[in-house]
Homo-oligomer: A and B are copies of this chain.
């Protein structure tokens, strides 16, 4: 997101008009809300919201049948948990008045002073509440992304504690660094249009750490741990892509040419990355796979995220192609070689793709697309690449250390991992007492006696 002053400029142009029309001065307050921009960001927030259920399906289809519900539940509960946390404390930590360039202070606790009028520091033409809720959706999806790494083996209570702590201690400060007024990375000039570092590097690296701390699933490497429902995964990928239009274009925070440009490069990079993944896999293993296409488009979406508001369509093709190929290699070659069990490849796709995207922004950014941005290496400004590197390194560090510490602390109070027999039985039954697909008469209602009077 870039805090552009175009709107302000436009308002300035309007001043003389308003002076001519003195009686209209009562207008001075309200007209600052633009109905088009407000609609755009509200509906973009809804689009970003649907990404998390999309992720639930994307992930849910990739696990074994006996873990489908527990995997879906992770994303679903995070929607609920973070929605409440954000309103109470998360938003003020991330976007509240700066405290030492590191975190927001508590002025906006419980959304105090976050109201129906715009906050010009963040977005001058939409109600402050709209900006707040748009940002909430980013906090949700980020925490949800991590869950792919520890799928099929983490205990539900430990997951709850981890997620709540992670979003508060890792996400909120990181968002402040990059996007908060006076955050240190923002001050440094790091470009991250829609969350390459804040969302993808942070979740990807945290996923890697979580996978290492929890250890491999039983049977990893000896049994086939196959996706149980690939159409579900494709549907999830489609909802992710769909929502990503709101994610990236909405990050322009106004319905303007920049939003249009972000929309176009988002779609282009996703498409190119899916093609690249499929083609590389085709050459490598002899078959173009559907799971490859679905994974590839996500890799492309990840990579274009930080760059979406700064690059033109042709570089977007390139960013996508590289993302598809590199993430494929991370997932198919690097991971088995290193032997960690990042179950659904959060690190391979989001960590690697996000890092590539953040650096690519330092290569391909151009002020021709966004005067409020900066030029990248290929437009003559090598320094930007360096700044991007700093942003990447800082995100890696915070995510890795934060996740490790949180998991260790949580493990003091509550076992992280399901015992072997529960893992064997599947987390759906052991953690939630439910069966994803109960298609046969399997038992009887307990306590028959309870059905009582009834009537008519």
Contacts and interface: CB of A to CB of B under 8 A. Distances in A.
Interface of A: 6, 10, 13-14, 16-17, 20-24, 26-27, 30-31, 33-40, 42-43, 45-47, 49-50, 53, 56-57, 60, 65, 68-70, 72-73, 76-77, 79-81, 83-84, 87-88, 110-111, 115-117, 126-127, 129-130, 132-133, 136, 156, 212-213, 215-216, 220-224, 226-232, 234-235, 238, 241-242, 245-246, 249, 254-261, 263-264, 267-268, 270-272, 274-275, 278, 285-291, 293-294, 297, 312-314, 317, 336-341, 428, 431-439, 441-445, 448, 450-456
Contacts of A258: 116
Contacts of A224: 438, 441-445
A445 B111 CA distance: 52
B24 A17 contact: yes
Given A259-B38, A290-B76, A46 B242 contact: yes
B116 A450 contact: no
Contacts of A450: 221, 336-337
B453 A339 contact: yes
Contact of A56 (B10, B116, B228, B234): B234
The majority secondary structure among interface residues of chain A is helix
Given A132-B264, A220-B451, A433-B287, A256 B116 contact: yes
A286 B286 CA distance: 48
A229 B437 contact: yes
Q: How many copies does the complex hold?
A: 3
B314 A272 contact: no
Nearest to A236: B235
Contact of A314 (B56, B110, B336): B110
A108 to B, nearest CB: 11
A291 B434 contact: yes
Contacts of A22: 16
B40 A42 contact: yes
A60 B229 CA distance: 13
A382 B340 CA distance: 62
B433 A275 contact: no
A156 B336 contact: no
Contacts of A336: 450-452
B275 A445 contact: no
Nearest to A81: B275
Nearest to A44: B43
Contact of A222 (B267, B293, B448): B448
A303 to B, nearest CB: 15
A293 B76 contact: yes
A139 to B, nearest CB: 12
Q: What 6 A-B pairs come out closest when comparing CB atoms?
A: A35-B36, A116-B257, A339-B454, A53-B238, A83-B271, A221-B451
